[in-house]
């Protein structure tokens, strides 16, 4: 009895150390992880050893009330994922069943859970090949994982992995890749007993159909204009083990956009997810395409400039102003020309003056001889000398 007391006291101390709480806190990488999990997409967390990947998954499982099943990929054989052959009474008639491991059976019996495939970059190629069916088809041997099971993996860069391997391109292309980094404030506050709270995004039921339509329009619109982005297998071996564009990963990006739109997710979180699905270059092009889709219609602005609202971001505002001037050029009418000047004045009053210079010069050159110079030009003259430019057009 006396020998057990020190351990009992140690257990009490360990329980106190493990007694932590959570708080709502803005955490981009955690929000990206929870949205991808909500969308039922396999996620791969990349980060140096000890960065907190496993701890984040443990907290996520607790927050979602899902049993956590951790499988160290590198210590398993391919048959542990493909299934072990079991010979029945009459193999010629019944075939040979592929028996799944016990952890897969427990997941199926529970009907839900979080499957955590740890140390993925230390798994040899044969094991990675066996994992392809687990990640994509959610099959382990003869068992199919139920819809309530989510799959998250973690890996260290090859330079810091023990006997590490590059991830095979087929396996890499099945994941949403998230770069997991430590946040100093989060670590300090977490060691003090309070970690960020992991919450699934709240989807607006009324926005679901529009979210799907928006996501499809965004991805299809980009790929129609840039067919070369549909499939780009990187030539570099390291990059092949990360995010790159393929029809499969574009489908993943489409799903992420739909979920992010329905949840009203912040742009930074969506950026992390989209680039983690199709790579940085294609992802940034898709994000730029999304920005253009949200821009107001130039015709709507010209029809009612008094109620116009221009984008806050300078690059998007420039695109809108250029679009307004182009619309006037295509259908030049005095009323539309005057409305365009009103919009330029609004842009000057609510943003940087330099954004108005080029559109104003182009708009002034569109003037017909019988059009009166609007008074709005005088409001622009002090900032960019538009009055002088228009005056030269009038005198011509």
pLDDT one-digit tens code per residue, 378-396 = 777 665 554 444 445 444 4
Check: CB of residue 50 under 8 Å from CB of residue 107: no
- Report pLDDT digits (tens) over 92-108: 566 566 778 888 889 99
CA angle 43, 46, 52 (to 5 degrees): 100
Residue 143: band (very low, low, confident or very high) from pLDDT cuts 50, 70, 90 = confident
User: CA–CA separation, 270 vs 30, rounded Å?
Assistant: 12
Strands 139-140 and 143-144: antiparallel
Name, of 47-51, 160-164, 241-245, the range with top average pLDDT.
241-245
Higher pLDDT residue, 5 or 360?
A: 360
pLDDT computed for residue 354 by the predictor: 84
Q: What's the CA angle centered on 176, arms 104 and 33, to 5 degrees?
A: 80
User: How much is the pLDDT for 390?
Assistant: 44
Tokens of 80: 């542990």
Is residue 179 within 8 Å of 5, Cβ to Cβ?
no
Is residue 72 pLDDT above 70, yes or no? yes
Identify any residues that bridge with 148 across adjacent strands, giving them in sequence order.
Answer: 112
- Crossing angle for the helix pair 386-395 and 354-365, nearest 10 degrees? 10
Q: Which residues of 206-216 are buried (b: 16+ CB within 10 A; e: fewer)?
A: eeeeebbebbe
Query: What is the pLDDT, as a whole number, of residue 384?
Result: 57
pTM: 0.78
Domain boundaries, the chain: 22-196, 205-293, 298-395
Question: Is 2.60.410.10 the CATH classification of the domain at 22-196?
Answer: no
Q: Is the pLDDT of residue 87 over 70?
A: no
Above 60 in pLDDT, residue 57?
yes
User: Tell me, what's the pLDDT at 395?
Assistant: 47
Helices 247-263 and 267-278 cross at an angle (nearest 10°) of 170
Give me the mean pLDDT over the 233-256 stretch: 94
Q: Round to whole Å and give the CA distance between 68 and 320.
A: 49
């Amino acid at each position: 009895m006396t020998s057990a007391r020190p351990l009992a006291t140690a257990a009490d101390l360990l329980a106190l150390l493990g007694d932590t709480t959570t708080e709502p806190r803005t955490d981009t990488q955690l929000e990206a992880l929870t949205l991808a999990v909500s969308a039922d997409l396999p996620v791969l967390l990349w980060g140096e050893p000890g960065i907190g990947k496993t701890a984040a998954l443990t907290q996520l499982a607790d927050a979602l009330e899902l049993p956590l099943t951790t499988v160290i990929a590198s210590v398993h054989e391919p048959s542990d994922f493909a299934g072990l052959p079991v010979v029945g009474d009459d193999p010629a008639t019944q075939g040979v069943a592929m028996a799944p491991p016990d952890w897969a059976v427990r997941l199926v019996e529970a009907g839900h859970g979080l499957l955590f495939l740890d140390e993925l970059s230390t798994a040899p190629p044969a094991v990675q090949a066996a994992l392809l069916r687990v990640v994509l088809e959610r099959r382990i041997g003869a068992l199919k994982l139920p819809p309530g099971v989510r799959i998250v993996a973690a890996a260290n860069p090859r330079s810091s992995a023990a006997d590490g391997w590059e991830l095979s391109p087929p396996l890499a292309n099945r994941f949403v890749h998230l770069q997991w980094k430590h946040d100093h404030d989060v670590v300090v506050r977490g060691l003090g007993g309070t970690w960020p709270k992991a919450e699934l995004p709240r989807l607006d039921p009324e926005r679901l159909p529009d979210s799907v339509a928006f996501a499809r329009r965004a991805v299809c619109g980009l790929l129609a204009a840039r067919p070369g982005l549909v499939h780009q297998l990187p030539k570099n071996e390291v990059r092949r083990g990360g995010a790159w564009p393929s029809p499969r990963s574009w489908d993943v990006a489409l799903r992420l956009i739909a979920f992010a739109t329905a949840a009203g997710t912040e742009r930074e979180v969506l950026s992390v997810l989209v680039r983690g699905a199709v790579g940085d270059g294609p992802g940034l092009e898709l994000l730029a395409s999304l920005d253009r889709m949200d821009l107001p219609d130039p015709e709507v602005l010209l029809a009612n400039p008094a109620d116009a609202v221009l984008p806050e971001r300078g690059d998007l505002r420039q695109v809108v102003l250029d679009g307004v001037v182009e619309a006037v050029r295509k259908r030049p009418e005095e009323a539309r020309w005057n409305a365009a000047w009103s919009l330029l004045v609004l842009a000057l009053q609510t943003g940087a003056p330099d954004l108005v210079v080029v559109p104003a010069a182009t708009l002034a050159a569109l003037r017909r001889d019988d059009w009166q110079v609007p008074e709005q030009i005088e409001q622009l003259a002090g900032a960019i000398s538009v009055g002088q430019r228009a005056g030269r057009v009038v005198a011509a």
